[in-house]
Structure 1
């Protein structure tokens, strides 16, 4: 069994996953984790773990760690409809990335202006046991978290 520390990809207010206003995330359909409500400014979303960039879309990315833990970062809710508007990628699919490395510039005000929720769910892909994800104190308290601070740990 491995323990993976998953870092916050952005600064903001930590949010429990069940409080994300989207059932796909709040009910753990994609996996379990936590979320961050970003400040309404342009932010750099960074890699929450080190590994290989398995999937890169303008609004989301998945990193596969050396221990085969897949971590999804989804920038905003329903942002796939924007077809990349408001997002600038700094990496390419297949790249080796380090935790804390800038991945995507996220124009939060542009997302809010389109009437979309800018919250950023971060989940362990295909994790079916909520107990395998342990939220940080910041998530439990709904406190502010810095980019690169531990958001949760995953026991895989």
Structure 2
């Protein structure tokens, strides 16, 4: 019964409204705990931070890989006119060149749930005890207000928010 209702409601959802799922699994952290003031102050855009419990980051929605960082710990996914910035760790100066295994290239089209990068969580937690993953929505004029999920723990299938990409 709930399956049919969910399927019916998905038809009513406008095509410009994208569900953005969590690219990581773990425990949601308050932004006040993030020492990076650009992220904690939402300078670039609204963010959600997670203390990861898995070693993989996945595509939060369909899009195009716009940029990959030199250390392979961060990337930008373009979704319509919106850019999603995904960071695995916020201290790239601490990370060795081979800690992150990137699974995509710039220009690749990705689909929801597709693996983007992986890492050794145990080693990263030793190198950086504050190792945190962050998803930031780069602010653009077309974004209407939205709020992130209030869940304390997220999984790959957790919808973080809905984004109007029109």
Q: Under a length normalisation based on structure 2, what TM-score does the superposition of the two structures give?
A: 0.78
Q: 1:114 matched to which residue of 2? A: 127
Report SS of the residue matched to 1:36.
Answer: strand
Counterparts in 2 of 1:84 and 1:29: CA distance versus 1, 3 Å: farther
Give distance in 1, aligned partners of 2:148 and 2:33. Answer: 13
Contact residue 8 and residue 36 of structure 1 kept, 8 A: no
Say which structure, 1 or 2, has more relative contact order (CA 8 Å, 6+ apart). Answer: 1
Structure 1 or 2: more strand by fraction = 1
Q: Deviations over 1:60-119 (max 9, x none)?
A: 011001x22110110011125425332001111110000110000022222221135221
Report SS of the residue matched to 2:147.
Answer: strand
Question: Which one of the candidate residues 103, 106, 110 is aligned to 2:116?
Answer: 103
Contact residue 34 and residue 152 of structure 1 kept, 8 A: no
Q: 1:30 matched to which residue of 2? A: 44
Question: Which one of the candidate residues 107, 123, 135 is aligned to 2:136?
Answer: 123
Q: 1:55 matched to which residue of 2? A: 67
Q: 1:144 matched to which residue of 2? A: 153
Q: 2:18 matched to which residue of 1? A: 4
- Taking only aligned residues, the RMSD between alpha carbons, in angstroms, comes to 2.5
Tell me whether 1:72 sits opposite 2:81 in the alignment: no
Give distance in 1, aligned partners of 2:89 and 2:161. Answer: 19
Count, aligned residues? 149
